[in-house]
Structure 1
Amino acid sequence: RRDSGQYVLTLQNVAGTRSLAVNCKVLDRPGPPAGPLEITGLTAEKCHLSWGPPQENGGADIDHYIVEKRETSRIAWTLCEAEYPATSCKVTKLLRGNEYIFRVMGVNKYGVGEPLESHAVKAQDPFT
């Protein structure tokens, strides 16, 4: 993406030199969604996540988002939403007392983008 811009091609031989300006647009996977990844409505079983669209879309529209969660005591991520169309979603099936990290990735026709991760939060009811 940073390599997009104007390049000058210069050809030279015994007959002379010729230059030509070429505009180049690099197409790629999207950058991370705009943060922070906000967590609201946290209870022992669910929460609501919201984020902004990526500042760099890779030259193509964002098709959808992938939302994942991970218990801080584990290594593997668990899929919450595979093809979510909006920039906010409800995450369910949290386990009371467990600590979670969430991440969101934008997807365009060139692939899955870089993730935006949340801070760790504990699944518990408010005021308990």
Structure 2
Amino acid sequence: DAVFLTRPKAEPYYVREGQEGPAMECSFAPEFRNRTRYEPSWTVVAGDLPRHLTRNGVSFSKQHYELLQTNGAYNLQIRHVVFRRDNGKFFCTLLDKESGSQYTVQANVVVVGSFTYIII
């Protein structure tokens, strides 16, 4: 839709535990950049529970994720991939605070190469 200029790629981001993760793209058309009316955020669902990562320009997990904001971009980068925290679905959402409408795009992150087996 016309809200997003860029969005995360449709296919999964395959990442390796312990490495720097990808920058997941999310940017908004100029008419949706007014932060008084529109509030961008990133949320992740890894396991069963959603976790808020960013809201407007505030990052709640600076040690784990970097918010890359320039010229309408609201990209998110995983600093250091951890399976239990990052293997899941990431959502970039734009909330229209006047109408209540929400616009969301999704990135799927698959962490590979770090499996521990317990032999009983």
Q: TM-score, normalised by structure 2?
A: 0.50
Equivalences for 1:38-77 in 2 at 5 Å?
38=9, 42-45=15-18, 46-47=20-21, 48-54=23-29, 57=32, 61-62=34-35, 64-71=39-46, 73-74=47-48, 76-77=49-50
Instruction: Specify which structure has the bigger relative contact order, considering alpha-carbon pairs within 8 angstroms and separated by 6 or more residues.
Output: 2
Residue 7 (structure 2) aligned to one of 8, 16, 36: 36
> 1:75-99: CA deviations, max 9, x gaps?
x311111223542122356532763
Q: Is 1:106 aligned to residue 85 of structure 2?
A: no
**Which structure is higher in strand share?**
1
The CA deviation at 1:103 is 0.3
Q: TM-score, normalised by structure 1?
A: 0.48
Q: Which runs of 5+ in 2 are unaligned?
A: 58-68, 114-120
Structure number, greater radius of gyration: 1
**Which structure is higher in helix share?**
2
Aligned-residue Cα RMSD (Å) equals 3.6
Q: Distance in 2 between matches of 1:70 and 1:93?
A: 17
Aligned residues between the structures: 90
AA aligned opposite 2:104: P
Q: Which runs of 5+ in 1 are unaligned?
A: 1-30
Q: Is 1:121 aligned to residue 96 of structure 2?
A: no
